[in-house]
Amino acid sequence: FIKSENSTKKLKIIKALKKLFINKEILYYLLITVTLGTVAVRINNIIIHLTYSFSKGVL
């Protein structure tokens, strides 16, 4: 869980984690989910409700 007021700091942490997993050849263990916001847009537009296939009215 990463919590920060600054989206840039969160993005740097996520990129560093992704690089670490790639270098160790275990990227398939990494699942990145985010709530709606600036960071969500910066991660290939994948947001938490898309990752888990939630749609309006399901919850």
pTM as predicted: 0.53
- How high is the pLDDT of residue 23? 92
pLDDT at residue 59 is higher than 70: no
- How high is the pLDDT of residue 10? 78
Asked if residue 43 lies in contact with residue 14, where contact means CB atoms within 8 angstroms, the answer is yes
pLDDT at residue 2 is higher than 60: yes
pLDDT digits (tens, 9 = 90+) for 4-54: 777 778 788 888 888 898 899 987 777 776 665 555 555 655 665 555 555
